[in-house]
Amino acid sequence: MNLIDVTRQFATEEKCLEYIEKMRWPHGVGCIHCGVMNVSKITRETVGANKRGTIYQCLEKGCGKQFSATSGTIFNDTHLPLTKWMMAIAMICEAKKGISAKQVQRHIGVNYRTAWHLCHRIRAAMKDGGLLTGVVEADETYLTPKKPRKGKPYVKKEKRDIVLGMVERGGRLRLVPIADAKMEIIEPMLEKHISPDATLQTDGHPTYAIISQRKWTGRHRVIDHTRSYVNGDIHANTIENAFSLLKRGVYGTFHKVSIKHLGRYCDEFSFRFNRRDEQKQMFDSTLKNIVNEKALPYAKLTASPVSEA
Ligand SMILES: [Zn+2]
């Protein structure tokens, strides 16, 4: 969905609310407290950002509560107009190499902290699941600083952020930050994301040979990078391309991504990659996930411990 469509379709709070309502209740409005469909619609004069123009009243005896299409969603925890939410979602979906919070701040006219928090909450809704199938290329990559900063010591390879990438040929991508490129860490990750029926395609790294003997017996293809990069159908170019896209985003757009948030950036990149020809669906699935997702509070975002992807 391009930005002109977004400004047109989501010009007012009411239009946004209507869209969210249809998305949340495609088969008719149900009470969010007790689940009955016996509800009545109340239209009122909009007062303030968090007062919705359309609300519902549950008519069930013993419930009788009121709610709106955004009740219980993260839209209600912010005072940000829905029109700005929609614009930010569209901008993130549209940006192939990602978009910085600074840029979102300028475009929608909010302060930096709000923009940063908003971007992370949208990013948190861009998450895919399911096992990868068919021919799956797997490899890991090291994220390094753009260039060594003057006076700063060289960053040892094992101290850099590592991302494990897995991609179906002609299909879906999964990027996962890992603490170390050790077999004990890579093996469970491959198992978690790749179907046992898949054919694994990797480089000549011995770790993959050992893992595939156990889990993908007889279905492991190797491209020996010391000899060549492509041997007919045997190559790891798809994952290499995905890595370079991620790096262009991390270095070019965000400049520096804290390891704490790297998982969310990885999810965002995969999510976009997986819907590269479906802008409208990408917008809708992101919005749907936001509606169904629990809020990602600012305090949780800025808390220190890093949980492993
Ligand atoms: Zn109710």
pLDDT tens digits, 123-173: 989 989 899 999 999 999 998 754 566 666 666 655 678 999 999 998 999
What's the confidence (pLDDT) of residue 152?
Answer: 65
Beta-carbon contacts of 47 under 8 Å, excluding residues fewer than 6 positions away, are none
**Integer Cα distance of 230 and 224 in angstroms:** 9
CA of 42 to the centre of ligand 1 (A): 15
What's the confidence (pLDDT) of residue 148?
Answer: 61
Sign, Cα dihedral of 117, 100, 250, 168: positive
CA of 34 to the centre of ligand 1 (A): 4
**Integer Cα distance of 178 and 192 in angstroms:** 13
| Residue 155 near residue 147, CB atoms below 8 Å | no
CA of 71 to the centre of ligand 1 (A): 13
What's the confidence (pLDDT) of residue 158?
Answer: 52
Beta-carbon contacts of 194 under 8 Å, excluding residues fewer than 6 positions away, are 131, 132, 136, 138, 166, 200, 216
**Integer Cα distance of 10 and 84 in angstroms:** 9
Angle at which helices 279-292 and 112-124 cross, to 10°: 100
CA of 37 to the centre of ligand 1 (A): 8
Q: From the options 3.30.70.20, 3.30.420.10, 3.40.50.300, 3.40.640.10, give the CATH code of 135-273.
A: 3.30.420.10
Per-residue DSSP letter, 265: H
Q: Does the model's pTM come out above 0.95? A: no
Per-residue DSSP letter, 306: -
CA of 13 to the centre of ligand 1 (A): 25
Distance set, CA 131 to CA 18, 213, 262 (Å): 34, 19, 21
Closest CA relative to residue 123, chosen from 226, 253, 2: 253
Residue 256 is encoded by which pair of tokens?
């520096």
Burial profile 84-95: b = 16 or more Cβ within 10 angstroms, e = fewer:
bbbbbbbbbbbb
What's the confidence (pLDDT) of residue 306?
Answer: 46
CA of 211 to the centre of ligand 1 (A): 52
What's the confidence (pLDDT) of residue 155?
Answer: 60
Question: pLDDT tens, 3-39?
Answer: 888 999 999 999 999 999 999 999 999 999 998 999 9
Question: Which residue type, as a one-letter code, is found at position 222?
Answer: V
Q: State which residues of the chain have pLDDT below 50.
A: 146, 306-309
What's the confidence (pLDDT) of residue 307?
Answer: 42
Residue 13 is encoded by which pair of tokens?
């709070």
CA of 19 to the centre of ligand 1 (A): 22
**In the chain, domain spans:** 3-25+69-124, 135-273
Distance set, CA 266 to CA 16, 41, 272, 282 (Å): 28, 41, 10, 16
| Residue 213 near residue 189, CB atoms below 8 Å | no
